Structure 1
Amino acid sequence: MNTISLAPLAVVLPFFGAALAFILIRHTRAQRVISISILSVTLILEVFLLFAVWETGAQAVNLGGWLPPVGITMVVDQFSALMLVVSSAVSLAVLIYAAGQGMTDGDEDGPISIFHPTYLILVAGVSNAFLAGDLFNLYVGFEILLTASYVLMTLGGTTPRIRAGVTYVVVSVVSSLLFLITIAMIYAATGTVNMADLAVKLADLDQGTQLMLHLMLLVAFGIKAAVFPLSFWLPDSYPTAPAPVTAVFAGLLTKVGVYAMVRTETLLFPGDRINTLLMVVAGLTMLVGILGALAQTDIKRMLSFTLVSHIGYMVFGLAVGSVVGIGSAVFYVVHHITVQTSLFLVTGLIERRGGTANMDRLGGLAKLSPLLGVLYFIPAINLAGIPPFSGFLGKLGLMEAGVDLGTPLAFVLVGASVVTSLLTLLVMARVWNRAFWRTPEDAVHPDPILLATGTDGSSLRHSGDVNEKSTGKFAGRDAVDLLPRTMVYPTVGLVALGVSLTVLAGPLFSLSDNAAQDLVDRTPYIEAVLGEGAGQ
């Protein structure tokens, strides 16, 4: 059997797992086992898909017996396969983390029976978006993951989560509506929504119509990717969700938007007609995002702003448009998914150990939990781009592409990327200095749970300075409960995965460059869908 023919299982398996988890809605332990098992099998399948396309190039699967451009087509190339593997690996780590949190807390932070099926539906939507061979199926993938994300964001039903969820829903609906209108206009103009077919037919439209459709798609995807000035919704939405939900949102949702931008810019609208606009957007996204991060005291909000900022690096590589630029952007997407998710998981541990994620109320964590300090320090310096980590290698590749382009605006973008990297290091250092290095007594408003912790790291149960009201659900717990192994182990695994990107940078850059070459050439994708000779 051809391995690529199994590609639809990357979507079907999570849906099947979601159905089983929903049937077992009253059996949370069985839900955990099924969810983790299904996602593990899905990851193994996607690894095989990646190896298959690494050797053979892009391949397509036609569903329902209908041939393209009429039928539904799923396309697996090196770019989509790489995104599938990374997204599922990260999703699995976050799912194990969430299961560990549920077991430790007695599932009291939200309706855990709904979490598992909804989470698997989110994964199915992400996979469907990466495999979609036509614009409408891409839209369906977005709607599946967005519908699931609405539920996950409002788990627990607290007022801040509901308020943030409303903002998220409104922005997402506007983006989806714009995307759907654009799909309808493209179909009216060309008679197809198959992306390989559109790559051929869009060139026959007049330049004005092409530009209008191009910009409409770019705005729709720009909202989903949170590029400036369409990123206003993200810092207020993500930090309110539970830690595992925030982590998976930060790692995946905006990257699906970036994926859609890269796919459509290279396949449907090749050339440099709007590259200047993309460069301006990339520069502003980097600088405005990191300046917003500098103004934050809450670690989750700070990381949300850095998330926006580093989307700018990916848009920078896309704007350059060369194989080196797009290859570096692909590498940076993989790096950022892994490292940003790691940092949000670590922040969840910081909040448990210190009682808060506010830097003004934290201190002494390096002494209280050296392991937590290491788990924060490694991805933090990786995100900041300190050599020899993958963050440095990705940024170096992007800067090289900008210098090779040689335009004044490209040099400005190179300078902006350097400034953003330095400011990211400053932001990460502020968290380290305040939360980990100084003593709890030096904090502006130290959290009672820190003051009630002994110098040996053990929790002082039922201290007179601590009560249930001041420390919430973490009061009176031992240190092992504040940092449960079932949450620490997946975090360690994800941090290690981030480090492995440095160790395996050579093969990963080779894969990214090959993927970029196919994206720029377009022919392998078109011929995989429409047949040999169609891309000429």
Structure 2
Amino acid sequence: MTDLSWLVPLPVVIPLFSAGLTLALYRRPRVQPIVSVSALTLVLLASVALLVLADDGPLVVDVGDWAAPVGINLVADRLSALMLSISSAVTLCVLLYSLAQGRDDDEESAPISIYHPTYLVLTAGVANAFLSGDLFNIYVGFEILLAASFVLITLGGTRDRIRAGTIYVVVALLSSVLFLVALASIYAATGTMNLAQLAIRLPEIDPGVRLVLQVLLLLAFAVKAAVFPLSSWLPDSYPTAPAPVTAVFAGLLTKVGVYAIIRTQTLLFPDGRLDDVLMWVALATMLVGILGAVAQDDIKRLLSFTLVSHIGFMVFGIALSSDAGWTAAIYYVAHHITVQTALFLVVGLVERVGGSTSLTRLGGLAKATPVLAVLFFVPAMNLAGIPPMSGFLGKLGLLQAGVQAGTGLSYVLVVGSVVTSLLTLYALVKAWNKAFWQSPSDQPRPVGMPFGMVGPAAALVVVGLVLTFAGGPLYSYTHRAADALRTRTPYIYAVLPDGQRGEGESAEAADEADAVAPDPTPSATVGGDGS
């Protein structure tokens, strides 16, 4: 296992090195795509390898050979490896889509010399945030991906994109300031930024101070994850960007915030003092987001509001603070990254064929392009949670976890989840009917769909279906990830030397490791023993 720990930094190092190489090759636009695609293919292979290896225990690399807690370490456990694998597949598909779009458009609106290095830096930032073993390096990962996203969201320099980019920058800077204040406060209270060591030291400080630190971190991550009421910026920012940029933003950037919430809530604040608050926030995020989606007549804005709404499902699972809740939340994050990205890529094709994303101007696309109608319908139904798709499996797991919790508030969230799912189905069926089924006010433009764009979008639609057919093994994997988050032992023992753990934590962790959690796999949907 330790012999293969060299794989851990590759998802960060390869994109950063390739970003520098593509920047040096800015006068060789035909070579840049080769470098970018090769780099992200290698990242995907390394991520899948880590997904398999991390199932036997976390892999840790001490950067510069400085052991924790002094140095920076990168940690690949089940949770981070799963997030890496899904995000690597998504970023590769989006890159292929954008290359085909650029070749077909033959435009200079998005300079290729800028796009490739920026996109690779974004990929490196996402990977760094997933793998970081200390809070400050997570902050660095956020800033890397945010700096790259500032460039991508304003590509083309149109008035709408500059306006949206300005909103995005202001909100991102506010989140970064909150994160920095949280980091400074945590270091002042504990003397460390290392996550494993924080898991040991935070229980030793004053409970009131610990609560303040938890609130500061949650506020910073809630902005990044677009949790209500800190989500109003997202529907105004994402729809104006180019289709590939919108797709990768919708699929990944908010999920990095969700990942940070999962990691810190389970590892640093396992006492669940804010669980009730998070459940109310989850309910508000679900309902406000989906009501906003129902009111939209533009597909991009509709999907942006559904994105906000479904963040509420993930926060619901986190707030349950149980193996079943965390299992379903992790599974739902993996599902949502894939399906939401696929939908935005398909909407890019809709805009290309129909000349607009406004539902009042579209129509008749099912007759004009039947393949496009299928490509939209399948992930739309998956997002709505139609059985037996992966969206249904994730939502059923969340509902079962809520019922298992047995509290009045958890039952309220169960009802809210069902209502949100029904409204999601209504909004997406309305969009599909208006765009594909109703008679068009104007005939769709005779614009073809390049296979290079259809292929990556279709590939992500298929990945969403694979998450359905592989629901049993994947749900079992997320259950093992959730169990490791609950015990905290594997993470702490993998990162810290013996002398840094502390006897109290070692004894507590050993006791927790002996506890056997019930398997939360939804037996009615995944089937069998979940293996």
- Per the normalisation by structure 1, the TM-score is 0.92
Contact 1:318 1:325 in 2 (8 A): yes
Instruction: Provide the rounded CA distance (Å) in 1 between the counterparts of 2:366 and 2:30.
Output: 34
Q: Cα distance, 1:359 vs. partner?
A: 0.4
Which consecutive residues of structure 2, in runs of 5 or more, have no partner in the other structure? 507-531
Which consecutive residues of structure 1, in runs of 5 or more, have no partner in the other structure? 454-458, 460-478
Instruction: Provide the rounded CA distance (Å) in 2 between the counterparts of 1:164 and 1:335.
Output: 27
Matched, 1:497 2:498: no
Distance change in 2, residues 1:58/1:81 (3 Å) = same
Q: Which residue does 1:523 correspond to in 2?
A: 489
Letter in 1 for 2:294: L
Letter in 1 for 2:79: F
Match runs of 1:403-442 below 5 Å: 403-441=403-441
Match runs of 1:60-71 below 5 Å: 60-71=60-71
Letter in 2 for 1:424: T
Q: Cα distance, 1:28 vs. partner?
A: 1.7
Letter in 1 for 2:462: A
Match runs of 1:294-373 below 5 Å: 294-373=294-373
Give secondary structure in 2 for the equivalent of 1:29.
coil
Match runs of 1:390-469 below 5 Å: 390-441=390-441, 446=442, 450=444, 453=445, 459=446
Give secondary structure in 2 for the equivalent of 1:140.
helix
Instruction: Provide the rounded CA distance (Å) in 1 between the counterparts of 2:271 and 2:228.
Output: 22
Q: Cα distance, 1:532 vs. partner?
A: 5.4
Q: Which residue does 1:23 correspond to in 2?
A: 24
Give secondary structure in 1 for the equivalent of 2:228.
coil
Matched, 1:53 2:59: no
Contact 1:3 1:48 in 2 (8 A): no
Q: Cα distance, 1:486 vs. partner?
A: 0.7
Q: Cα distance, 1:531 vs. partner?
A: 3.6
Contact 1:325 1:398 in 2 (8 A): yes
Q: Which residue does 1:5 correspond to in 2?
A: 6
Give secondary structure in 2 for the equivalent of 1:74.
strand
Matched, 1:511 2:512: no
Contact 2:12 2:125 in 1 (8 A): yes
Give secondary structure in 2 for the equivalent of 1:203.
helix
RMSD: 1.0
Match runs of 1:40-119 below 5 Å: 40-54=41-55, 56-119=56-119
Instruction: Provide the rounded CA distance (Å) in 1 between the counterparts of 2:498 and 2:346.
Output: 48
Distance change in 2, residues 1:421/1:532 (3 Å) = farther
Instruction: Provide the rounded CA distance (Å) in 2 between the counterparts of 1:25 and 1:224.
Output: 32
Letter in 1 for 2:364: G
Letter in 2 for 1:5: W
Q: Which residue does 2:526 correspond to in 1?
A: none
Give secondary structure in 1 for the equivalent of 2:30.
helix
Aligned length: 501
Instruction: Provide the rounded CA distance (Å) in 2 between the counterparts of 1:412 and 1:27.
Output: 58
Instruction: Provide the rounded CA distance (Å) in 1 between the counterparts of 2:378 and 2:498.
Output: 47
Letter in 2 for 1:523: T
* 1:68-126 Cα deviation digits (max 9, x unpaired): 10100111100000000000100000000000000001133321220111000000000
Instruction: Provide the rounded CA distance (Å) in 1 between the counterparts of 2:353 and 2:130.
Output: 37
Q: Which residue does 1:124 correspond to in 2?
A: 124
Overall identity of the aligned pairs, in %: 60
Instruction: Provide the rounded CA distance (Å) in 2 between the counterparts of 1:138 and 1:433.
Output: 43
Contact 1:101 1:107 in 2 (8 A): no
Q: Cα distance, 1:59 vs. partner?
A: 2.4
Give secondary structure in 2 for the equivalent of 1:378.
helix
Q: Which residue does 1:463 correspond to in 2?
A: none
* 1:214-270 Cα deviation digits (max 9, x unpaired): 000000000000000000100000001000000000000000000000000000001
Give secondary structure in 2 for the equivalent of 1:28.
coil
Letter in 1 for 2:487: D
Q: Which residue does 1:465 correspond to in 2?
A: none
Letter in 1 for 2:102: G
* 1:478-504 Cα deviation digits (max 9, x unpaired): x33xx1111001111110001100010
Q: Which residue does 2:178 correspond to in 1?
A: 178
Instruction: Provide the rounded CA distance (Å) in 1 between the counterparts of 2:123 and 2:345.
Output: 18
Instruction: Provide the rounded CA distance (Å) in 2 between the counterparts of 1:503 and 1:388.
Output: 9
Instruction: Provide the rounded CA distance (Å) in 2 between the counterparts of 1:18 and 1:66.
Output: 26
Which 4+ runs in 1 deviate beyond 4 A?
A: none
Q: Cα distance, 1:20 vs. partner?
A: 1.1
Q: Which residue does 2:140 correspond to in 1?
A: 140
Q: Which residue does 2:205 correspond to in 1?
A: 205
Match runs of 1:222-261 below 5 Å: 222-261=222-261
Q: Which residue does 2:510 correspond to in 1?
A: none
* 1:123-177 Cα deviation digits (max 9, x unpaired): 0000000000000000000000000000000000000000110110011001001
Letter in 1 for 2:72: I
Matched, 1:386 2:386: yes
Give secondary structure in 1 for the equivalent of 2:107.
coil
Q: Cα distance, 1:405 vs. partner?
A: 0.3
Letter in 1 for 2:145: L
Q: Cα distance, 1:67 vs. partner?
A: 1.2
Contact 1:356 1:362 in 2 (8 A): yes
Give secondary structure in 2 for the equivalent of 1:60.
strand
Letter in 2 for 1:93: C
Contact 2:26 2:113 in 1 (8 A): yes
User: Quick check: 9-18 or 57-66, which moved more?
Assistant: 57-66
Letter in 2 for 1:211: L
Q: Which residue does 1:151 correspond to in 2?
A: 151
Instruction: Provide the rounded CA distance (Å) in 2 between the counterparts of 1:208 and 1:522.
Output: 23
Instruction: Provide the rounded CA distance (Å) in 1 between the counterparts of 2:478 and 2:225.
Output: 20
Give secondary structure in 1 for the equivalent of 2:62.
strand
Matched, 1:487 2:453: yes
Letter in 2 for 1:321: S
Q: Which residue does 1:462 correspond to in 2?
A: none
* 1:25-75 Cα deviation digits (max 9, x unpaired): 122221111101100011101111111111x21121111121110100111
Give secondary structure in 1 for the equivalent of 2:31.
helix
Q: Which residue does 2:276 correspond to in 1?
A: 276
Q: Cα distance, 1:272 vs. partner?
A: 1.8
Letter in 1 for 2:394: G
Instruction: Provide the rounded CA distance (Å) in 2 between the counterparts of 1:290 and 1:115.
Output: 33
Letter in 2 for 1:115: Y
Give secondary structure in 2 for the equivalent of 1:360.
coil
